[in-house]
Amino acid sequence: MKRPWALVAIPAVFLAAFFAYPMATILVKSLAASDGGGPLLDAGVVWFTVWQAVVSTILTLVAGLPIAYVTARYEFPGRRLLRAATVVPFVLPTLVVGIAFFALIGPSGLLGIDLSGTAAAIIASHVFFNVAVVVRVVGGLWEHLDPRLEEAARSLGARPVQVMRLVTLPLLRPAIASAAAIVFLFSFTAFGTVLVLGGPGIATIEVEIYRRTAFLFDLRGAAVLAILQIVGVTTALLVYAHHQGRSRITQTLARSRPRRPHSARQRIFVVATVVWTLLLVGLPTMVLAWRALTRDGVPTLAGFRALQTSPFVDVAASTTTSLGYAMAAMLIAVGVGLPAALVIASHRGRLSRWFDTLLMLPLGTSAVTLGFGMLLAFDAPIDLRATAAIIPIAHALVAIPFVVRSLVPVLGSIRLRLREAASTLGASPRRIRREIDLPIAGRAAAVGAGFAFVISLGEFGATTLLARPGSATLPLAIFRLLGRPGAVNVQGAMLLALLLMVMTVTVVMVIDRYRLPGEGWF
């Protein structure tokens, strides 16, 4: 089959116009910022961004590895449900996560301690949000480790701790490194949680870019910070790739059957891990629902009535806007991601791998940086900043990698003989793609479309910079209410956060029905 240059052109042109050009504009702006003005860098912001990401990564591994072990190796009632529940925090919009922890450990929080404005609250929210990455990535490999290796070590007299340290953990090192890299990147580029939970003196690079752009109008300083963040993300990815290359282990994978805990120690450990998981995953979301629907512990509809008469937000308009943007972003992401996945899956080689890597770049770039780049770049010859189209385009940039990752494994698994047989019978390449590739990849395309919809629904970083008056999404409406004084406005923000959470989880449940058996989330 000839190389489908038309298919390559669609994602290449889209990526060049809406990602490479805005990023280049930021670079030019930062290089022109060598003189005049105030300080371009705040060492305290940079240092806080780095160390909180490192601590968040370490604590997420500590919190997630026991859950990964228990769900991979032990069979118990509710095991599948427990593992599925760990995914819920990861698919929630980061702003909702921030609101949930605000209800738990903010002023008048359920725990009775006010940790808002502290690094502890931010790190705790990152652990809650990212624990699913550790459970899925590490647990997915853990349940496929060949059990004979551990049995051989035990037969030679190794104690359980020695087996874990000398056999299991070295085999899991690539998966642990992969999970750690993902968690670090999400914590390093955190925005919604830091914006809600951080105090006046606490900001990550992401939040500082937003502050300098939206409030200080310091575009030079914001550009320098954006470049610094891109350099930091790229460095982390290069270190991860180098580590993966050195720690790669060739091993025989075998689906190990989970067993029931047979000793008292194992049963205690499983029960303690289940309780810990339920507290970690369930407590913030349940507190959010409780605070949204009650006042002083008594169920009330006051929050609903306040939202109906609020002069600050229009719930119906914000919901409609969010759904409209999500639908548009989904169509764009599928329209760009599908031809890209067809090219990557049908052509193996160095160029295909490079193309795949380029498509993943927007995922490693923060949403605020993407929005800031578009804000700088699209003022001429056509001012896209004044149009509603720029927001779903920004959302689609982040969603395209998820669409591609959903489609490539399925398209790559189509037997070559099917295509060759169709070609022998006279089918053109276009007809082969239409009648063989696309029907087989339909379920995967639906999963990718669902991911794109969810990502757009909760996207907050780029939208804060690009949204125009009258086009507020649900995350923006939540943030506006949270910034207004009064208990009624806070409760209204929690109600909208609860609505957004329900919408997101509903879409994820639908996605889960379309996923192929054994297909993972990460």
276 plus 390 within the same structural domain: no
pLDDT band at 2 (very low <50, low <70, confident <90, very high): very low
465 plus 411 within the same structural domain: yes
Mean of pLDDT over the chain: 80
418 plus 279 within the same structural domain: no
Are 187 and 51 a contacting pair, CB within 8 Å?
Answer: no
Domain membership of residue 21 (yes or no) is no
* CATH code, domain with 159: 1.10.3720.10
Of the ranges 56-70, 81-95, 215-229, 506-520, which one carries the lowest mean pLDDT score?
506-520
90 plus 205 within the same structural domain: yes
Domain membership of residue 492 (yes or no) is no
258 plus 358 within the same structural domain: no
Of the ranges 71-85, 300-314, 494-508, which one carries the lowest mean pLDDT score?
300-314
Whether omega before 381 lies within 30 degrees of 0, making that bond cis, reads yes
Tracing tokens 């060598």 back to the chain, one arrives at 34
Residue pLDDT, tens place only, 111-162: 878 888 899 999 999 999 999 888 888 887 787 776 677 667 777 777 777 7
Residue pLDDT, tens place only, 347-404: 666 666 677 777 777 877 778 888 888 888 887 667 777 788 899 999 999 888 888 8
| Residue 14 scores a pLDDT above 60 | yes
60 plus 177 within the same structural domain: yes
Neighbouring-strand partners of residue 253: 145
328 plus 423 within the same structural domain: yes
| Residue 233 scores a pLDDT above 50 | yes
Range of the domain at 430: 315-471
436 plus 379 within the same structural domain: yes
Are 445 and 407 a contacting pair, CB within 8 Å?
Answer: yes
Domain membership of residue 263 (yes or no) is yes
266 plus 341 within the same structural domain: no
pLDDT band at 417 (very low <50, low <70, confident <90, very high): low
User: 64 φ, ψ to 5°?
Assistant: -90, -30
User: 301 φ, ψ to 5°?
Assistant: -105, 10
361 plus 403 within the same structural domain: yes
Domain membership of residue 61 (yes or no) is yes
| Residue 36 scores a pLDDT above 80 | no
pLDDT band at 33 (very low <50, low <70, confident <90, very high): low
Total number of domains in the chain: 2
- Distances in Å between the alpha carbon of 365 and those of 19, 168, 174, 251? 10, 33, 23, 33
User: 294 φ, ψ to 5°?
Assistant: -135, 165
| Residue 514 scores a pLDDT above 70 | no
> How far is the C-alpha of 479 from the C-alpha of 460, rounded, in Å?
9
The per-residue pLDDT for 440 is 65
Domain membership of residue 520 (yes or no) is no
- Mean pLDDT within 334-355: 77
Burial of 317 (0-12, 13-18, 19+ CB in 10 A): middle
